[in-house]
């Protein structure tokens, strides 16, 4: 029997909470499960289907495995947790927060937020009320190096105009393997239009499989490929002279340096044949300015290598030479965000924003303190500057760097509180664990389209009542903590009060917005093409930059090698996105992997490299480094650079613990063999600066005998 969650006979329109994409669907409940109906025509986040990750999130409210259902307090002897009441939790946490403030000051408190932290407004408000500026977002764990490279080269990281491009090149980014179904559709539409797709990746990703050209680059060497392309564009006079003259400085100095970046030199660094480098440069130039090297995202350049920031500089350089910035089919100007309203301070007391700098910002002055710095929390803990941390919808113990190292650091805090839905590595070492609800069990408020010009707003409606009586939405948890800390006067508003204030500037009725699921604000937004936006001092792009010279990267983006170069018989352990992945939960990733027929216990290895070592497809081997040993199943493939091993982006067998006999589960996580380091420029985790060797188990056991 179907019991639909309806308003006037229609299913509730909401958006998926599986990632940042907010894919829209109409929800109804049938036989104790949530059914998603798509597409929701007219919605700003319309999509034809949910990805595997989104589909499996529909069952989360009913899944008891690893679910946190009561407030939990760690026992004094560390042997486990006991359930406590909410009043006990709020009172005890507040007392310990107050003790830290009294002894070390409010700046010794911090909060870090994950992507699905929907009630972050309340989190920011709590930290401000306590006097701390230390609220960190997830970008620092995903793409801070890339963002910093773009921020100081162009002033922002541009989106690609995939809908109108004639040629696009992606580095380490696979749209086909993403969780954003609309982007997959846009890529397929571009192919049908005849746009040329070029993918640079050590593995043949989903996007590489449908690309016109796949460049199998050596891991960590995308920078050399870009420099080789820049050389061809300049040496063959294929660059946009007018754009360079009008919008840049330092071209002569750049051109002199570029003379050394020959395709042959680039091939020696990145293993892409010189002829392919030349052909790629010519293809881009032939389509310019409706051509673009995509600015990137996470993948192989976000935070992976010591040269990731320099790689972002080089992408910007090639796009400048193509003259594509601000041009249709090229790199789009920044979106014009809708300015939502806020609570009226005359009606609702508002805490002052702390004036002091966020911890980590002095150490990394080039990094945007709003978007970056979350991985630097570890340094602040080790320095004794950060003493208390609230983790909301995030898992730094598994997502900010090497797991063992991070868990050790987190346990040095005077207080660690985790607010989450499921038990995680971070939750298990916390002092208190507070149970959140899933995105389907509470309204998540007003949203705007991220990364695009769109004058519509939408509302994230609840689909279900709260399924576990002792769980609460994040906003109620923050309000309860605030009351216990003596700053409850800043939380005398409801979620509807906030939502109504946010849409008030547009004359939108909140009840009508909830009913329909979205509304048009009527705001006229400017085009993202035309005169290029260059929000830098002087309004020009410095191809030879004093900023980068002072930062130690050189005036022009010369070659910088990865920090770690695996020696003979060693491999670089890399990972990449797949549409079912969860970066911080192996169990959630396993659900999608099973549906896709993918094996999370396995790693991919180049077939020739495996044959050279006598390793057969399906054989179980050990990956070994100074960081330990992990047993994995090998899948051999010709579609992977022989210098690397590819693993899932989800945590490995270590995250499952050991069985009764002490055996560890199969599988390796992408950070299990990456030593804990902080990039000296951005604080990034340098997630693929590692080296592992592959050992046949039989051979090792024979040697032991």
pLDDT exceeds 70 at position 622 = yes
- Is the same domain home to 281 and 376? no
Task: Count the helix, strand and coil residues of the chain and give each as a percent rounded to the nearest 5.
Answer: 35, 20, 50
| Amino acid 372: pLDDT | 84
Beta bridge partners of 446: 459
d(C-alpha 163, C-alpha 508), whole Å? 31
State in Å, rounded, how far the first CA of the chain is from the last one: 63
Long-range contacts from 355-364, C-beta under 8 angstroms, 24+ separation: 355/133, 356/107, 356/133, 357/133, 358/133, 358/134, 358/135, 358/136, 359/107, 359/110, 359/134, 359/385, 359/386, 360/683, 363/683, 364/681, 364/682, 364/683
Does 316 share its domain with 405?
no
Q: Each residue of 111-160: pLDDT tens digit?
A: 999 876 779 999 999 999 999 999 999 888 889 999 999 999 999 999 99
Domain CATH code at residue 261: 3.40.228.10
Indicate which CATH number applies to the domain containing 574: 2.40.40.20
> Both 584 and 645 in a single domain?
yes
* Model confidence at 39: pLDDT above 60: yes
The phi-psi region of residue 345 (left if phi > 0; otherwise alpha if psi is between -120 and 50; otherwise beta) is alpha
- Pair (432, 363) in one structural domain: yes
Residues 6+ apart with CB under 8 A from 280: 169, 198, 213, 215, 229
Position 272 in a domain? yes
Question: Per-residue pLDDT averaged across 69-95, rounded?
Answer: 97
The CATH number given to whatever domain includes residue 470 is: 3.40.50.740
Residue 560 included in any domain: no
Helices vs strands, H then E, count in the chain: 23, 27
Domain count, the chain: 3
Strands 602-606 and 72-74: unpaired
Q: Are residues 392 and 473 in the same domain?
A: yes
Please, which pLDDT band fits residue 703 given cuts at 50, 70 and 90?
A: very low
Does residue 14 form part of some domain? no
Question: Are the CB atoms for 559 and 269 separated by under 8 Å?
Answer: yes
Residues 462-492: pLDDT tens digits? 999 999 999 999 999 999 999 999 999 999 9
Q: What's the rounded mean pLDDT across residues 438-458?
A: 93
Buried b (16+ CB within 10 A) or exposed e, 192-225: eeebbbbbbbbbbbbbbeebeebbbbbbbbbbbb
- Give dist(CA 416, CA 93) in Å, integer: 9
Given a contact cutoff of 8 angstroms between Cβ atoms, the answer to whether 108 and 97 are in contact is: no
* End-of-domain residue from the set 505, 523, 541: 523
Residue 599 phi, psi dihedral angles, 5° rounding: -110, 110
* Helix pair angle (308-322, 222-235), 10° resolution: 20
For 106-156, the DSSP string reads: GGGEEEEE-TT-TTHHHHHHHHHHHT---EE-GGGGTTHHHHHHHHTTTSS
- Domain of residue 442: give its range: 87-137+338-523
Per the domain annotation, does 26 fall within a domain?
Answer: no
Fill in the DSSP letter of residue 526: -
How do strand 456-460 and strand 445-448 relate by DSSP bridges? antiparallel
640/422 Cα distance (integer angstroms): 35
**Residue 401: which of 382, 422, 420, 414 has the closest Cα?**
382
Does residue 96 form part of some domain? Answer: yes
Spatial contact of 171 and 202, defined as CB atoms under 8 Å apart = no
In 3D space, the residue among 144, 210, 202, 142 whose CA is nearest the CA of residue 175 turns out to be 210
- Determine the Cα–Cα distance for residues 231 and 234; give it in Å rounded to an integer: 5
User: Sign (positive/negative) of CA torsion 495, 56, 299, 206?
Assistant: negative
Maximum average pLDDT range among 440-444, 589-593, 646-650: 440-444
User: Under DSSP, is residue 354 helix (H, G, I), strand (E, B) or coil?
Assistant: coil
Contact by Cβ (8 Å): 89, 82: no
Q: Of 523, 543, 578, which marks where a domain is finished?
A: 523
**Could you give the percent of the chain with pLDDT greater than 70?**
92
Residue 155 in any domain: the answer is yes
222-235 vs 263-270: helix axis angle to the nearest 10? 170
Per-residue pLDDT of 302-320, as tens digits, reads: 899 999 999 999 999 999 9
pLDDT of residue 616: 97
Query: Is 463 within 8 Å of 476 (Cβ atoms)?
Result: no
CB-CB neighbours of 355 under 10 Å? 7
- Identify which of 671, 7, 90 has the alpha carbon closest to the alpha carbon of residue 398: 671
Give mean pLDDT, residues 440-445. Answer: 95
For residue 39, whether the previous peptide bond is cis, meaning omega lies within 30 degrees of 0, is yes
pLDDT of res. 8: 47
50 and 66 Cβ atoms separated by less than 8 Å: no
The answer on 457 and 547 residing in a single domain is no
Query: Which residue from 451, 455, 185 is spatially nearest to 333, judged by alpha carbons?
Result: 451
pLDDT in tens, 158-173: 999 999 999 999 999 8
- Asked whether 24 and 47 are in contact (CB, 8 A), the reply is yes
**Measured distance CA(224)–CA(701) in Å, rounded:** 41
What SS3 state is found at 575?
strand
Question: Residue 705: which pLDDT band, with cuts at 50, 70 and 90?
Answer: very low
Q: Are residues 363 and 390 in the same domain?
A: yes
Helix, strand or coil, per DSSP, at residue 306: coil
One domain, residues 328 and 392: no
pLDDT of residue 547: 97
- Listing DSSP states for 65-108 in one string gives TTB--S-EEE-TTSS-EEE--HHHHHHHHHHHHHHHHHHH-GGG
Taking residues 672-686, report their average pLDDT. Answer: 95
> Do residues 668 and 602 lie in contact, with contact meaning Cβ atoms separated by under 8 Å?
no
Residue 662 has pLDDT above 70, yes or no: no
d(CA 358, CA 364): 11
Same domain, 162 and 99: no
Taking the model in full, what pTM does it have?
0.94
Q: What is the per-residue pLDDT for 583?
A: 55
| Residue 410 within any structural domain of the chain | yes
For residue 154, the model assigns a pLDDT of 98
Side-chain half-sphere exposure of 118, counting CA atoms within 13 A:
32
Do 252 and 240 reside in the same domain of the chain?
A: yes
The pLDDT-based confidence of 2 (bands split at 50, 70, 90) is very low
Cβ atoms 310, 269 nearer than 8 A = no
- pLDDT tens profile 369-391: 988 899 999 999 999 999 999 99
Has residue 594 been placed in a domain? Answer: yes
Q: Is 346 exposed, middle or buried (0-12, 13-18, 19+ CB in 10 A)?
A: exposed
Q: In 143-297, where do the E strands start and end? A: 167-171, 196-200, 213-215, 248-249, 291-293
Query: Looking at residue 4, what is its pLDDT?
Result: 38
The token duo for 702 is: 């024979």
Pair (483, 535) in one structural domain: no
Shared domain for 211 and 292, answered yes or no, is yes
Write down which residue in 507, 523, 539 finishes a domain.
523
Residue 656 has pLDDT above 70, yes or no: no
What size, in residues, is the chain?
A: 705
Q: What is the mean pLDDT of the chain?
A: 92
10 Å CB burial of residue 642 (0-12, 13-18, 19+) is: middle
């Amino acid at each position: 029997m179907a019991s639909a969650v309806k308003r006037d006979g229609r299913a509730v329109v909401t958006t998926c909470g599986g990632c940042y994409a907010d894919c829209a669907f109409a929800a109804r409940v049938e036989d104790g499960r949530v059914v998603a109906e798509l597409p929701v025509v007219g919605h700003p986040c319309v999509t034809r289907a949910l990805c595997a990750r989104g589909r499996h999130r529909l069952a989360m409210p009913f899944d008891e495995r690893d679910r946190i259902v009561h407030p939990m307090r760690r026992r004094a002897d560390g042997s486990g947790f006991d359930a406590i009441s909410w009043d006990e939790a709020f009172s005890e946490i507040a007392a310990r927060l107050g003790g830290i403030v009294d002894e070390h000051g409010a700046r010794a408190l911090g909060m870090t937020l994950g992507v699905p932290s929907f009630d972050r407004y309340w989190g920011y408000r709590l930290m401000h009320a306590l006097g701390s500026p230390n609220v960190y977002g997830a970008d620092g764990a995903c793409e801070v190096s890339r963002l910093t490279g773009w921020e100081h080269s162009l002033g922002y990281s541009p989106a690609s105009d995939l809908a109108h491009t004639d040629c696009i090149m992606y580095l380490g980014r696979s749209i086909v393997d993403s969780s954003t179904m609309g982007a997959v559709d846009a890529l397929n539409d571009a192919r049908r239009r005849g746009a040329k797709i070029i993918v640079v990746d050590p593995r043949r990703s989903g996007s590489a499989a449908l690309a016109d050209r796949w460049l199998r680059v050596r891991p960590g060497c995308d920078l050399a490929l870009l420099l080789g392309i820049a050389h061809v564009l300049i040496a063959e006079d294929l660059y946009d002279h007018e754009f360079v003259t009008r919008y840049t400085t330092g071209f002569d100095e750049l051109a002199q340096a570029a003379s050394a970046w020959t395709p042959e030199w680039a091939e020696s660094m990145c293993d892409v044949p010189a002829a392919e480098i030349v052909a790629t440069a010519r293809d881009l130039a032939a389509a310019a300015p409706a051509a673009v090297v995509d600015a990137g995202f996470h993948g192989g350049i976000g935070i992976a290598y010591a040269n990731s920031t320099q790689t972002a500089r080089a992408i910007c350089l090639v796009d400048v030479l193509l003259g594509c910035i601000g041009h249709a089919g090229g790199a789009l100007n920044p979106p014009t965000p809708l300015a939502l309203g806020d609570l009226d301070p005359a009606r609702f007391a508002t805490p002052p924003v702390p004036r002091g700098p966020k911890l980590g910002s002095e150490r990394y002055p080039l990094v945007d303190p709003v978007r970056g710095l979350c991985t630097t929390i570890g340094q602040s803990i080790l320095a004794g500057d950060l003493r208390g941390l609230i983790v909301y919808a995030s898992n730094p113990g598994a997502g900010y760097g090497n797991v063992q190292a991070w868990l050790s650091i987190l346990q040095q805090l005077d207080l660690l509180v985790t607010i989450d839905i499921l038990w995680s590595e971070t939750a298990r070492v916390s002092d208190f664990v507070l149970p959140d609800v899933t995105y389907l069990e509470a309204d998540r408020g007003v949203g705007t389209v991220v990364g695009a010009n769109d004058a519509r707003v939408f509302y994230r409606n609840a689909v279900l009542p709260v399924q576990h009586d002792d769980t609460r939405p994040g906003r109620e948890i923050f309000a309860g903590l605030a009351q216990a800390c003596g700053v409850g006067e800043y939380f005398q508003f409801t979620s509807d009060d906030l939502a109504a204030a946010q849409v008030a500037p547009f004359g939108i009725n909140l009840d009508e917005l909830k009913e329909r699921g979205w509304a048009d604000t009527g705001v006229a937004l400017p085009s993202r093409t035309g005169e290029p936006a260059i929000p830098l001092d002087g309004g020009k792009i410095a191809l030879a930059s004093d900023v980068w010279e002072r930062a130690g990267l050189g005036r022009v983006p010369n070659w910088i090698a990865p920090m770690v170069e695996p020696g003979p018989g060693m491999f670089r352990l890399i990972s990449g996105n797949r549409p079912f992945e969860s970066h911080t939960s192996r169990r959630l990733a396993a659900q999608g992997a099973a549906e896709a027929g993918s094996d999370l216990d396995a790693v991919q290895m180049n077939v020739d490299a495996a044959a050279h070592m006598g390793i057969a497809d399906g054989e179980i081997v050990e990956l070994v480094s100074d960081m330990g040993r992990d047993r994995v199943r090998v899948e051999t493939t010709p579609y992977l650079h022989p210098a690397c091993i590819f693993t899932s982006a989800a945590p490995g067998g270590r995250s499952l613990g050991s069985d009764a006999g002490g055996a560890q589960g199969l599988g390796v996580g992408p950070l299990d063999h990456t030593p804990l380091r902080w990039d000296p420029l951005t604080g990034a985790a340098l997630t693929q600066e590692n080296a592992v060797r592959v050992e046949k188990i039989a051979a090792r056991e024979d040697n032991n005998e």
